[in-house]
Amino acid sequence: PVTFKDVAGIDEATEEVSEIIAFLKNPERFQAIGARIPRGVLLVGAPGTGKTLLAKAIAGEADVPFYSISGSDFVEMFVGVGASRVRDLFQQAKASSPCIVFLDEIDAVGRRRGAGLGGGHDEREQTLNAMLVEMDGFDSNEGVILIAATNRPDVLDPALLRPGRFDRRVVVPRPDVKGREEILKVHVRKIPLAPDVDLAVLGRGTPGFSGADLANMVNEAALLAARRNQKSVLMDDFEQAKDKVLMGAERRSLIISEEEKKNTAYHEAGHALVAVMMPHSDPLHKVTIIPRGMALGVTMQLPVDDKHTYTKDFLESQLAVMMGGRVAEETFLGKLTTGAGNDFEQATELARKMVCEWGMSEMGPLTFGKKEEAIFLGREIAQHRDYSEDTAIRIDHEVKKIVMKAYQRARATIEQHGEALERIAAALLDREVLDAAEIKLLIEGKPLPEKPAPPPAAEKPAEAEPAAKPVPKPAPAFTKTSREKPAPA
């Protein structure tokens, strides 16, 4: 069974819920001072942060009956089934109290009421009403503790969230540097590691990863080592697995013409050069012109530490990095390609947020465009224009001004260091992948060290399986500028 030893990186959340186990094991201590045991605990956090794992750990530690059910199990084809299931569940729980009931994905039944379209009977509302009554109604349910998990607390009914039903809201955050290292230690327990593996370095190099991402990365590294018939997992395997999770799988079989390869090399060299030269941007991590996921080439930046807020200088530097690709194509190849489309999309979105949400333009410290939650759609979010035509024109003007300023910065940088960019592009065409240290040498005009020998080729399994299409995961905020292949019209 899972215990708290298997949960790492979310110490505050673990502390909050471990108190519940103390309640169940020794209620007299709390009742003597007049304290009431919390009825319910709501675990809130992004997908993959370990909410269900935390509930499993409570079940493993508590030594009391544990009922687990998913929110969608209550919604059925027949009317009234959901409500009767809620009653049955609590009846069983009361019969075997003290016990814990775990409701995963509670937003399936706990959505705000009054969202019915048309005059039909809303099955979900009836289920929710039954749940509200069972949780804190006329009958007491002493000794039954309800734990629920959701990643959409904003759509839950306010009556469900009040104290007496859910007394505690425990936020399960994405882990920080220390947390990521702890999580990696848990996942590598059963894996033989080579002496060169440094988990602290891996923890620092994976900002924005959730616990599930880290578990996936460790598994990918182990699979890679097994494919190469190694006895242990090397640091290089972890690096490759990290790149696979961040940027998508390599697609070496994709046939690219020499001209397109040259385009991509100059494009990525432009991103890389501007990223190194901008004072406030995230440090460069790696540049590749091997197609990965949906992109023909990727320039990867990794933050030094976890950022929770962004400065205007940082955002302006990131915008200049996004523009670097197109500027390099224009300056050195004298032509425009569709490869920069994704960069412009990201840049425009970022500039619009700077104007409309963060008050970083001459429009002043205002926000424009209220997020409207349409009640009949069950509180789904839609942008709502709460400003005049004239303001809309001024917003568009400001957005353009911010992006064009970044474009000019990128152009000035690339014109000033043109020779360095040529060297980076040539090295990319030769080596296909460059890391930050190699790019620094190229900018300084120093020769690169000899190419290391390639790792042993992965042995083909006896039966070739059809390759799954990799889904590129969004990188940590603003770190990935990729050259997207245009979708066929």
- Write the secondary structure of the chain as one string of H (helix), E (strand) and C (coil): CCCHHHCCCCHHHHHHHHHHHHHHHCHHHHHCCCCCCCCEEEEECCCCCCHHHHHHHHHHHHCCCEEEEEHHHHCCCCCCHHHHHHHHHHHHHHHCCCEEEEEECHHHCCECCCCCCCCCCCHHHHHHHHHHHHHHCCCCCCCEEEEEEECCHHHECHHHHCCCCCCEEEECCCCCHHHHHHHHHHHCCCCCECCCCCHHHHHHCCCCCCHHHHHHHHHHHHHHHHHCCCCCECHHHHHHHHHHHHHCCECCCCCCCHHHHHHHHHHHHHHHHHHHHCCCCCCEEEEECCCECCEEEEEEECCCCCCCCCCHHHHHHHHHHHHHHHHHHHHHHCCCCHHHHHHHHHHHHHHHHHHHCCCCCCCCCCCCCEEEEEHHHCCEEEEECCCCHHHHHHHHHHHHHHHHHHHHHHHHHHHHCHHHHHHHHHHHHHHCEEEHHHHHHHHHCCCCCCCCCCCCCCCCCCCCCCCCCCCCCCCCCCCEEEEECCCCC
| 268 part of the active site | yes
Q: How many residues does this entry show for the chain?
A: 489
Asked if residues 476 and 208 have their Cβ atoms less than 8 Å apart, the reply is yes
Tokens, residue 174: 């994405």
Rg (CA), the chain: 27
Asked if residues 423 and 442 have their Cβ atoms less than 8 Å apart, the reply is yes
Q: How many CA atoms lie within 13 A of 108 on its CB side?
A: 15
Between CA 254 and CA 236 the distance in angstroms is: 24
Q: How many other C-beta atoms lie within 10 A of the C-beta of residue 441?
A: 15
Catalytic residue (choose from 268, 316, 438, 484)? 268
Annotated catalytic sites, by residue?
Answer: 268
